[in-house]
Structure 1
Amino acid sequence: MLENIKMVVFDMAGTTVDEQNVVYKTLHKALNAHGVAVDLNTVLRIGAGKEKHQAIKDVLVEFKSNKLGESEAIFEEFKRMLDEAYENLEVKPIKGVENVLLNLRQKGIIVVLNTGYNRQVAEKLLEKLAWDKNIHYDMLLTASDVEKGRPHPEMIHKAMEAFNITNARFVLKAGDSAIDIEEGKNANCGVTIGVLSGAQTKEQLEAQKPDYILLSLSELV
């Protein structure tokens, strides 16, 4: 699986980080608070892995909601609620994943973390985990660092460019949502992996035909 791989690009929440789905639970609450009667499973199905303002808009479009004009207000409410939720939240790595990151870097494989969160949220997660750049990972890329969010491959292309990797077949992409797999396929990654440690089910991941589906990233090495 890791043969010829020079770089791995791992999603954060549900893939490397266990934050008890707090982001999607908060997104769900923010939508409900604005009168959008959507359940959590639907939010996970539509929004998992996406930049969060886009996720809100996609939920509203799917529900043919008349609240589309309020998407910015819902997003601002979501960010406020999320800051509050994060203050007391215990964040920990998915079991075994920290060792995977350290082992990959020891083998000389570049580790990139990428996420549909903005940089502020992602850095807060890393701070809570006490993960350090150049020890646990080589680069962090977030939705606010690019013009086009997932499933567009801009984050992966940006990472490749930063480390002078010109051929995506040397890149492995792993994540817990179908949009992670789609992002990897759109970038022509050599290996795409779905993991069952996060937001979506095996059936939802299989829709994008990943090369492998693992219980978690701890099975990678």
Structure 2
Amino acid sequence: MSNLYSATPSASTKSPVQAIVFDWAGTIVDFGSFAPTSIFVEAFRQGYDFDITLAEAREPMGIGKWDHIKAVGHLPAVAQRWEKQFGRTMTDSDIDQIYATFMPLQKAKVADHAEPILNAIDVVNGLKQQGIKIGSCSGYPREVMDVLIPAAKDYGYEPDYIVATDDLSQGGRPAPFMALKNMIELNVTCVGACVKVDDAAPGIEEGHNAGMWTVGLLLSGNEAGLTLEEYQAADEATLNAARERAREKLGKASPHYLIDTINDLPSVICDIEKRLGAGERP
């Protein structure tokens, strides 16, 4: 699919959309969201010699990483195997140990997954040229973001503001606080003129809770779970099956729009602009 921003719009074209808040892995960088999921599998293995599947690691994606580990441990199949292996349920101390194992592994690997997704830089730069501010937030903690941010910058991605999941004390997704912190720092005057873009349900719910338009990504992120190579080689039947897997999960969060990747975002923004012009709000 061609990028709608390949022809650079006039810098004088001012959009009624004030800001867009992007997630990171599976949305802007790391096609398939493999950096966090593969490291969760490894952290469980190294921390406790306990195996989880990649699908189990993906299940609660979008929330903070400590809470993510806890949520994986509470999955019925995982909890059953844990109790069989250790003779007890998972405790907060277990989660602390897995998290402590996870952090250095994630920091060591996250820069390897910093490559932007499918015209992401062109799309973001086109949005900026329309006067739209670019915010971002992530389920990654700050110490991981401090590795990812400069790696992504080397590829040309530089949002106007960034919030990590542990930057705020009020709690992560699906609560709206990371998105709203972006609004404050970007000097946004109307959250109803802003958009949240994410590949996971908690991030879409975050956008709803913040009062924004929401866009879910079907094929580039966690729910489809395709590598870039698998995506590029897939026939339409394979892509449709992946879309339906993702649609079933993301649809529960009721996004205003569902698209394949960020490459399809410009047409969505055009539609939101029309709806804002007609007086609609999220």
What TM-score, normalized to structure 1?
Answer: 0.89
Which deviates more, 26-35 or 51-60?
Answer: 26-35
Partners of 1:62 and 1:3 in 2: CA distance: 44
Question: Where does 1:1-80 land on structure 2 (aligned, <5 Å)?
Answer: 4-18=16-30, 21-33=34-46, 34-46=48-60, 48-63=61-76, 64=79, 65=82, 66-68=89-91, 69-80=93-104
Q: Which runs of 5+ in 1 are unaligned?
A: none
Partners of 1:118 and 1:85 in 2: CA distance: 14
Partners of 1:170 and 1:91 in 2: CA distance: 29
| Correspondence 1:164 to 2:187 | yes
Matched with 1:175 is 198
- RMSD, aligned CA: 2.2
Which deviates more, 67-76 or 37-46?
Answer: 37-46
Partners of 1:86 and 1:50 in 2: CA distance: 17
Computing the radius of gyration from Cα coordinates, the structure with the larger value is: 2
Partners of 2:23 and 2:42 in 1: CA distance: 23
Once the two structures are superposed, residues 133-182 of structure 1 have per-residue CA deviations (whole angstroms, 9 ceiling, x without a partner) of 9x832101111211210111001111112233243211100000111111
What TM-score, normalized to structure 2?
Answer: 0.71
Matched with 1:153 is 176
Secondary structure in structure 1 of the residue aligned to 2:63? coil
The residue identity in structure 1 corresponding to 2:259 is L
The residue identity in structure 2 corresponding to 1:60 is G
Shift of 1:86: 4.0
Once the two structures are superposed, residues 83-105 of structure 1 have per-residue CA deviations (whole angstroms, 9 ceiling, x without a partner) of 33347x25310010101111111
Instruction: Identify the structure with the greater strand proportion.
Output: 1
| Correspondence 1:217 to 2:243 | no
Shift of 1:45: 1.4
Figure out how many residues of one structure are paired with residues of the other and give that number: 216
Shift of 1:55: 0.3
Q: Which runs of 5+ in 2 are unaligned?
A: 1-13, 83-88, 224-245, 267-282
Partners of 1:206 and 1:86 in 2: CA distance: 28
Once the two structures are superposed, residues 42-63 of structure 1 have per-residue CA deviations (whole angstroms, 9 ceiling, x without a partner) of 22112x1111011011112234
Shift of 1:36: 4.1
Shift of 1:76: 0.5
Partners of 1:211 and 1:93 in 2: CA distance: 24
Q: Contact conserved, 2:30 with 2:114, CA < 8 A, in 1?
A: yes
Partners of 1:129 and 1:14 in 2: CA distance: 13
| Correspondence 1:91 to 2:103 | no
